[in-house]
């Protein structure tokens, strides 16, 4: 798949912009396209954060917060800027697109996913079966497979965004938390469930063939900005 000139340019400056861990991870990727997408999205993230912080993107140091799982105190939770508590951010990339969300310190998670023509039939049913019972029921009520696939994708990006926001990632439980579906789908909302208290979930405009969402702690009335990057 063709990548535009800015992707190659991002890869070319990686040695001076990315840190040692990012360079090592990029170097370990076997496929050039995946490597350039990774580099482009991470250079883009550093550029966005550098603009907010008034810092050289290459000087930004990342760290990890404590894991959000209740029985884990290891440092593999949300990524953060070391030594700075004024910003929180989340980066997601899939296919030719990337999404970066930045908040004024409130925990935030963002996710973007590419739709796949292979996500049909039994495979789609198996993926839907991983969700919260309320989400499964709402999707099952939709009249055709195309709508159910769209509903699954809308739910999945909301789910990943929320699990990133609480600092657990997918181990936090796909079935445990109800995040609902995009309202535009018209799926019924079960009476006995609600989205996580203290969190706001929103579906975001995405390029054709993609779904995107953000989750942010809403009890502090945060301001969140979004940056979309087309990688191809």
Q: What is the CATH number of the domain that holds 195?
A: 3.90.470.20
Element (H, E) at 180: none
Task: Please indicate, yes or no, if residue 56 is contained in any of the structural domains.
Answer: no
Task: Please indicate, yes or no, if residue 157 is contained in any of the structural domains.
Answer: yes
Task: Please indicate, yes or no, if residue 228 is contained in any of the structural domains.
Answer: no
Number of domains in the chain: 1
> Is residue 28 exposed (0-12), middle (13-18) or buried (19+ Cβ within 10 Å)?
exposed
Task: Please indicate, yes or no, if residue 79 is contained in any of the structural domains.
Answer: yes
Task: Please indicate, yes or no, if residue 7 is contained in any of the structural domains.
Answer: no
Q: Report CA-CA distances (Å) from 44 to 7, 14, 69, 166, 201.
A: 10, 11, 29, 23, 24
Task: Please indicate, yes or no, if residue 35 is contained in any of the structural domains.
Answer: no
Tens-digit pLDDT string for the chain (232 aa): 334 555 556 666 667 889 999 999 999 999 988 888 899 899 989 999 999 999 999 999 999 887 656 676 666 678 899 998 889 999 999 988 999 999 988 999 999 999 988 888 899 999 999 999 999 999 999 989 999 999 999 999 999 999 999 988 877 788 999 999 888 887 777 778 888 999 999 999 899 999 999 999 987 555 556 666 565 5
pTM of the model: 0.88
Task: Please indicate, yes or no, if residue 118 is contained in any of the structural domains.
Answer: yes
Measured in degrees and rounded to the nearest 5, phi and psi for residue 101 equal -115, 135
């Amino acid at each position: 798949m063709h990548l535009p000139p800015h992707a190659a340019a991002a890869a070319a400056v990686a040695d001076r912009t990315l840190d040692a861990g990012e360079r090592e991870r990029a170097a370990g990727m076997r496929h050039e396209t995946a490597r350039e997408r990774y580099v482009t999205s991470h250079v883009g993230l550093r550029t966005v954060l550098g603009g907010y912080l008034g810092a050289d993107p290459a000087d930004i140091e990342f760290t990890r917060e404590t894991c959000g799982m209740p029985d884990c105190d290891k440092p593999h939770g949300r990524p953060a800027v070391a030594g700075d508590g004024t910003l929180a951010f989340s980066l997601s990339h899939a296919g030719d697109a990337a999404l970066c969300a930045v908040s004024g310190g409130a925990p935030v998670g963002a996710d973007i996913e590419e739709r796949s023509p292979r996500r049909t039939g039994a495979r789609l049913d198996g993926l839907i079966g991983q969700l919260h019972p309320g989400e499964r029921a709402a999707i099952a009520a939709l009249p055709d497979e195309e709508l159910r696939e769209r509903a699954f994708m809308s739910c999945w990006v909301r789910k990943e965004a929320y699990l990133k926001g609480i600092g657990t990632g997918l181990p936090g439980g796909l079935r445990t938390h109800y995040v609902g579906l995009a309202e535009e789908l018209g799926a019924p909302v079960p009476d006995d469930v609600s989205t996580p208290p203290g969190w706001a979930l929103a579906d975001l405009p995405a390029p054709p063939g993609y779904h995107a969402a953000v989750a942010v702690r809403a009890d502090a009335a945060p301001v969140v900005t979004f940056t979309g990057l087309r990688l191809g």
